[in-house]
Amino acid sequence: MSDIITLAHGSGGKLTHQLIERLFLKHFSNELLLQGDDSANFTLPTGRLAFTTDSFVISPIFFKGGDIGKLSICGTVNDLAASGAKPLYLSCGFIIEEGLAMTELERIVESMAKTLRECNVKIAAGDTKVVGRGAADKIFINTAGIGIIEEGIHLSGRNAKVGDKVIITGGIGEHGVSILVEREKLDISGDIQSDCAPLNTMVESILKVTRDVHVLRDPTRGGLATTLNEIAQQSNVGIRIDEEKVPVKDEVRGICELLGMDPLYMANEGKMVIIAPQHAVQEILREVKNNKFGSQAAVIGEVVESHPKKVMLKTVTGGSRMVDMLVGEQLPRIC
């Protein structure tokens, strides 16, 4: 194959077929893709179906802790997991800029394949388009996914109840800060990495020990603050969190203070917000902390009757302030 992607790779002719066979099938090969038809045919287990889609335009495409390929799998798998679904199959669409190095594309595809194996999920269908130089920024990826929700699992942002506790599965803001440091080439000591990770096994382990979970949500763009506001509005409840209990790495906090940013609004790609009744909290925390991605999990607040549809923060100084949704774009092209 050529050393770079050319417009001919998107023509549908020989170079397209070579790209599919020598790169995509090499890493993604499974019985569904090998059918070679215009759509995949498969039989689903019984249960409710969850379906989601997401597009990834992150810059830079490679970063500490991941890359656009890993991110495209984790993002869609985590969306399915947040609905209580067991992810089964993904589709994958590539929009590639002419001139992208073939070695970079293969590195991305290898990363996707590795993450798929970790999630035990298969690519069932895909598509590739090539656009001229300047019409895209190296590569954009769309993934859509389907999963099965077992009987007895009913998760929704509408389900938060007064008295429920709010759990975060680890330190916030790591993805957003890592991308900011790399994009702006900030000369800052410390090894800040994206938290990009698949969380479906964590969610499966939680739901095995208790179905008494009301809300799961992954706080990506807009961060923890925006996610909690979405839940408060959907459920018509108030949420109160304690700033002192929200886990934030020192490096993340320091960079945010230096640049005038708030960790509550920084993106995450490997964390889950869990809202559940008090009696289920210890079981949930035990399962989360036993997972390699959840060792820093903490209860950070509760659902309250006062100030419906709003989120209040108890500050480290003992005061209170309202935490609104993110206004504008703190850091564009974060995923």
47 falls in which pLDDT band (50, 70, 90)?
Answer: confident
- The b-or-e profile of 46-85 (16+ CB within 10 A means b, else e) is eeeebebebebbbeebbbebbbbbbbbbbbbbbbbbbbbb
Q: What average pLDDT does the segment 283-287 reach?
A: 98
Supply the DSSP symbol for 8. G
Peptide bond into 277 cis (omega under 30): no
191 falls in which pLDDT band (50, 70, 90)?
Answer: confident
281 falls in which pLDDT band (50, 70, 90)?
Answer: very high
Residue 181 CA to its chain's centroid (Å): 19
Fold that domain 7-149 belongs to in CATH: 60s Ribosomal Protein L30; Chain: A; (3.30.1330)
Quick one: the chain helix, strand, coil %, rounded to 5?
A: 35, 25, 40
Residue 187, pLDDT score: 81
On whether the CB atoms of residues 268 and 194 are closer than 8 A, the answer is no
Tokens of 209: 């020990």
User: From start to end of the chain, where are the E strands?
Assistant: 48-56, 62-63, 66-67, 86-97, 122-131, 139-149, 165-168, 215-217, 238-242, 273-276, 298-304, 311-314, 320-323
Residue 46, pLDDT score: 87
Q: How far apart are CA 46 and CA 86, in angstroms?
A: 12
CATH class of the 165-323 domain in this structure: alpha beta
pTM (2 decimals)?
0.96
Supply the DSSP symbol for 324. -
Rounded to 5°, the CA angle 137-198-94 comes to: 30
Residue 267: strand, helix, or coil: coil
Q: Which residues pair with 139 in a beta bridge?
A: 96
Which sequence spans correspond to the domains of the chain? 7-149, 165-323
Q: How far apart are CA 282 and CA 298, in angstroms?
A: 10
pLDDT tens for each residue of 206-240: 999 999 999 999 999 999 999 999 999 999 999 99
